[in-house]
Structure 1
């Protein structure tokens, strides 16, 4: 076992020694998670509003009521807020005029400028902003009416607040019949992107790193290792374990980084780690097979990247399987990515248990066993072939 671990450790060090892997292993996956989450991810907020004003009492009350309506509120200068809307960085810009604070304090009418974006969600956000501001205006009208009738302003304000709490908010029950929307409900903004990039890069990096196997064969590293007191089975086990360690290293890094930086919820970490381990075994076997069948490092990297991208595109590593047509979803399950995607979806979205993901794990384990056996067989044959 010590010999196997030594060979595996050597493979990992050789992989990390290649500086080109630093960007593709540590930086690129997180950039894609950020892009996908920004473009397609959901979030707990109902929309974004950028408010501009002098920062007085009126602006503070508007911010409070907007946040109470579950809107994300940022503050900026008026021109910057309009630019943010135009560039799609926020849904609505709300500009509080310079004289609005004084008018609000004097109980006079106030007109606010609302600039909505062109995105599909902007109209809904604009309506929520209008509703929020109108509720604030209604509260002021009620307070002014009580004060005009002779009530103490502070006491009237307290009584209105107590009345609102006693009455409670109306309850609206919305039943969403859209199956895709139901499937993605409750997902964080970056949860879906985290899973897709995990599947993409674990497989992609493993296949792209198959060139190190060819280098080891070309430089006589494998042959010299076999001349040492180490059996062929140990050598094969070490090489396969090295591929698996590389895949696990990439996967664990993506899971940890996305959880810390983007708040991705991976569900039950033990089950998620189990799915990753089996999926990484499939990637390790395919990398062994690729690195044994080809004799040129450049060709191995090119084929590895191409194959990794194609399988990820088919299997849910680039787009959610839920948006695929039924026939394409069936085709997708030829790939290990689709089975791993289903397992992660069960864990993340439905709090799935080990029993729930056993069918996916069984298929992945079968694929992993077949890939490792084929990769080991191909490596044995490659040792007898000159480069």
Structure 2
């Protein structure tokens, strides 16, 4: 019974703390409203491709180049997403990219289309804005897809033509080579001229996220992380006032004291998560997904991990100021690294792998998946990582607290 008494006492202290209320409950709601509204345009809410501006330099006109520019890049499927801007020279294109006027650029070699049909594949020069990896990737994929189709058609036409030519003298059949080659060329050209562009915009069975949804999940994950410092400070305050020491020498078991402190932080974290979900849903219409049980599981797992980290931090720190400074900086670093400030997709691949050390990365990823609609199996990894990290942190923290 002592365990629950200690936990309830800590919860009441936290609820009476105005600073905790503003920091952990009010601020995430305000930031969600600001970021969700201001940055909603960054997210494609209808499942379409993101908009991009492509600069092109064409030194000579030919039928195939015109077809790629007008029928593919400006076809009905891509016209709304891709804006083309023509430049006279490569230098002009480079300057436009540096000035941020275009996201990516293509410089076509002289008589590029004619060369493709002859089997002379002269590569197109591609340029990009260093901060626009996604638009460049899309433009690059479309270009490579078109080039590969045309190259395949050209090679197939020449190969079949050579085979037919070499087989005619041996065969007794009468073959109209010119008619056959013309028919083959027309059919293969139809394939090359198809509207398929290598990038298909369609739903993958999951609902696209809005900016408000993303930043609701991101701000929730970030501010729940602040419970590591708040929970640690509660223990350090009691240690400095000798309250913890008196508890340690009382008949109350050490495990009950540690468990009560852990349970207090865990309960407040769960309360914070619950209030935040309800507030953002009813105030801003945030859709947290159709599976409430999945959301509850993820909230519990993340709260468990954060509460364990609070115990570990309390075990290693002795001063409140140290917790405020180191813990505050640490939370901000983890928040940035875990995608709570900037979507992880914007990070380099190496940094995305390093982000695995941030508990909010696993929580945010799981919550976003729940919002889009996911299976229980997909949540196994993030939930397991969060629970295990919480257990290890709690164990380390309890060992360190024994020594004090």
- Per the normalisation by structure 2, the TM-score is 0.58
2:339 corresponds to which residue? 316
Please say if residues 210 and 304 of structure 1, whose CA atoms lie closer than 8 Å, have aligned partners that are also in contact. no
Are residue 5 (structure 1) and residue 7 (structure 2) matched? no
- Tell me how far apart the structure 2 counterparts of residues 255 and 175 of structure 1 sit (CA, whole Å): 41
Please say if residues 201 and 250 of structure 1, whose CA atoms lie closer than 8 Å, have aligned partners that are also in contact. no
Q: Deviations over 1:137-196 (max 9, x none)?
A: xxxxxxxxxxxxxxxxxxxxxxxxxxxxxxxxxxxx999948999899622341001110
- 1:364/1:179 CA distance change after superposition, 3 Å: farther
Q: Deviations over 1:224-273 (max 9, x none)?
A: 22343311111111111112122212211211111111111111221112
1:19 corresponds to which residue? 18
Q: What root-mean-square deviation, in Å, do the aligned CA atoms of Structure 1 and Structure 2 show?
A: 2.8
Please say if residues 180 and 322 of structure 1, whose CA atoms lie closer than 8 Å, have aligned partners that are also in contact. no
1:39 corresponds to which residue? 38
2:389 corresponds to which residue? 367
- 1:23/1:237 CA distance change after superposition, 3 Å: same
* Correspondence 1:286-325 to 2 at 5 A: 286-325=309-348
- SS of the residue corresponding to residue 20 of structure 1 reads helix
- SS of the residue corresponding to residue 403 of structure 2 reads helix
Please say if residues 32 and 219 of structure 2, whose CA atoms lie closer than 8 Å, have aligned partners that are also in contact. yes
**Structure 1 residue runs of 4 or more that deviate by more than 4 Å after TM superposition:** 42-46, 173-176, 178-185
Aligned length: 254
1:353 corresponds to which residue? 375
Aligned mate of 2:217, from 185, 195, 199: 195
Highest Rg: 1 or 2? Answer: 2
2:248 corresponds to which residue? 226
2:353 corresponds to which residue? 330
Q: Deviations over 1:185-227 (max 9, x none)?
A: 6223410011101110111133234211111111122222234
- 1:3/1:38 CA distance change after superposition, 3 Å: same
1:343 corresponds to which residue? 366
Q: Deviations over 1:341-360 (max 9, x none)?
A: 221122111x1122221122
1:247 corresponds to which residue? 269
- 1:181/1:323 CA distance change after superposition, 3 Å: farther
Are residue 277 (structure 1) and residue 300 (structure 2) matched? yes
Are residue 262 (structure 1) and residue 284 (structure 2) matched? yes
- Tell me how far apart the structure 2 counterparts of residues 39 and 380 of structure 1 sit (CA, whole Å): 48
- 1:195/1:183 CA distance change after superposition, 3 Å: farther
Give 1:22 deviation, angstroms. 2.3
- SS of the residue corresponding to residue 288 of structure 2 reads coil
* Correspondence 1:61-76 to 2 at 5 A: none
Structure 1 stretches lacking a partner, 5+ long: 47-172, 383-387
- 1:194/1:183 CA distance change after superposition, 3 Å: farther
- 1:284/1:40 CA distance change after superposition, 3 Å: same
Please say if residues 213 and 291 of structure 1, whose CA atoms lie closer than 8 Å, have aligned partners that are also in contact. yes
Give 1:313 deviation, angstroms. 0.6
- SS of the residue corresponding to residue 226 of structure 2 reads helix
2:155 corresponds to which residue? none
Give 1:336 deviation, angstroms. 1.4
- Tell me how far apart the structure 1 counterparts of residues 340 and 240 of structure 2 sit (CA, whole Å): 33
- Tell me how far apart the structure 1 counterparts of residues 376 and 239 of structure 2 sit (CA, whole Å): 40
- SS of the residue corresponding to residue 252 of structure 2 reads coil
Please say if residues 240 and 376 of structure 1, whose CA atoms lie closer than 8 Å, have aligned partners that are also in contact. no
- SS of the residue corresponding to residue 368 of structure 1 reads helix
Structure 2 stretches lacking a partner, 5+ long: 48-194
- 1:332/1:201 CA distance change after superposition, 3 Å: same
Q: Deviations over 1:6-38 (max 9, x none)?
A: 111111112222221221122211111011111
Are residue 207 (structure 1) and residue 229 (structure 2) matched? yes
Give 1:323 deviation, angstroms. 2.2
- 1:381/1:35 CA distance change after superposition, 3 Å: same
2:169 corresponds to which residue? none
- 1:191/1:300 CA distance change after superposition, 3 Å: same
